[in-house]
């Protein structure tokens, strides 16, 4: 099973809003104003690449570095291990 860290990090609008502690409306406005890089799926849903979102931020705090450290710390954790820890056998 692939490690979770090896997957591209595409966020929903809700996830991006939660990460930055802003409203979903704010994220949608930033997308509309082309302030945030995004991908629009055929279903019209929006996905925001985590690294692009972080790169679009300005300031003197390196959130990308902090997240990279967390990714490195948990790079060996697989989906199977998470499901096992949650007691979810994955058999639906």
Tell me how far apart the terminal alpha carbons of the chain are, to the nearest angstrom: 18
Of the listed ranges 3-7, 17-21, 71-75, 83-87, the one predicted with least confidence? 3-7
The per-residue pLDDT for range 28-87, each reduced to its tens digit, is 999 999 999 999 999 999 999 998 898 888 888 777 788 888 888 888 888 888 888 888
> pTM for the complete prediction?
0.61
Structure token digits, residue 51: 């690294």
d(CA 77, CA 13): 25
CA-wise closest residue to 18 among 10, 27, 9:
27
Q: Where are the beta strands (DSSP E) in the chain?
A: 10-11, 39-40, 46-49
How far, rounded to the nearest angstrom, does the alpha carbon of residue 8 sit from its chain's CA centroid?
A: 8
Examine the pLDDT at 21 and tell me if it is beyond 90: yes
**Which domains can be identified in the chain, with CATH numbers?**
8-65 (1.10.1660.10)
* Residue matched to tokens 């954790």: 77
């Amino acid at each position: 099973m692939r490690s979770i860290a090896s997957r591209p990090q595409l966020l929903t609008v809700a996830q991006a809003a939660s990460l930055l502690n802003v409203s979903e409306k704010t994220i949608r406005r930033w997308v509309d104003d082309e302030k945030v890089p995004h991908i629009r799926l055929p279903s019209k849903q929006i996905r925001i690449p985590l690294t692009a979102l972080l790169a679009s931020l300005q300031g003197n705090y390196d959130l990308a570095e902090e997240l990279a450290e967390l990714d490195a710390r948990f790079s060996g954790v697989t989906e199977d291990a998470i499901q096992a820890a949650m007691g979810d056998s994955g058999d639906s």
